[in-house]
Amino acid sequence: MSTERVKVFIIGSGPAGYTAAIYAARAGLKPVLYQGGQPGGQLTITTDVENFPGYPEGVMGPQLMMDLQKQAERFGADIRYGMVTRVDFSGWPHRLTVDERTEIEAESVIISTGASAKWLGLEDEQRLNGRGVSACAVCDGFFFRGQDVAIVGAGDTAAEEASYLSKLARKVYMIVRRDEMRASKIMQQRVKNAENIEILFNTETEKLIGADGLEKVIVRNNASGEKRELDVTGFFVAIGHQPNTDIFKDFLDRDESGYLKTVPGSSRTNVPGVFATGDAQDKIYRQAVTAAGSGCMGALDAEKFLAEKEMELAGQA
């Protein structure tokens, strides 16, 4: 197995990873970035992105990721295909294995592995993803102004997104599997007080219908077995996200949901020289622009760490 030593090693290629690469490359740190299993991250399966600064007419998700990659490469970032399969943060430099073929000795590591939306597993869910089906109401709700939409979920995030959609859509159906919601009382009250939100308790989604875009959703009442057709053009899944952090669980502190813990106001983890950015550590905002901002933080924190490490080693010489 070949071994390579790098100053800054970036895992993941969404807005956080590419922004970290841009900053680290401009600082002359020659970062190496491995794109992972989904090069470009979740935005590569997103169509129109209208809320990322600098694109007044909006931009397609894949194009935005290509632009960020080109910008990083322009400053000398080494962008590679490949998946990190093992890590060892027990000593310094940190050791990582890529595709079981290449071993990396990294003086600093920036984690930008993101999070994956949890889906219902319906037959046409992925086929209609980006064509009426979405896992982010804040990202895509704008495209459904004046239309009828449905949202699945019962927690605070679902309630918050339902409230957000109610300000844009004509009608919002909130599909709740049980006979009660898990959301906090204040969030439940907000949903119940919205005139254009109809909560369907004891209800599950059975089928999504649409050729080139979503046209209908068939739901079933769990108590009566009665089925109902909802004429909606938007269907939002808000049942949570799963951070892609399992590979780090033996070394890095995580919360109960698996998100990496960082020192407040920084990207620093519990292991010196390892930094967490983007959706791998952010369960609140989960936006492209906030991920990019945290990628900047990761690169600046890594740059500071490396400078301090260099002084420490020089003092020991």
Annotated active-site positions, please? 136, 139-140
Structure tokens at 278: 């983007």
- Give the three-state DSSP class for 129: strand
Residues 1/98, Cβ–Cβ less than 8 Å: no
- Please give the order of strands across the beta sheet that includes 216-221: 203-209, 216-221, 227-230
**Dihedral sign computed on CA atoms, order 125, 130, 133, 138:** positive
Tokens standing for residue 12: 């993941």
Who's near 256: CB < 8 A, 6+ residues apart?
none
Q: Are 20 and 298 a contacting pair, CB within 8 Å?
A: yes
DSSP 32: E
Q: Answer yes or no: are the C-beta atoms of 95 and 103 closer than 8 Å.
A: yes
Say whether 15 sits in a helix, a strand or coil. helix
Q: Are strands 102-111 and 94-98 parallel, antiparallel or unpaired?
A: antiparallel
Question: 134-156 burial string, b = 16+ CB within 10 Å, else e?
Answer: bbbbbbbbeebeebbbbbbbbeb
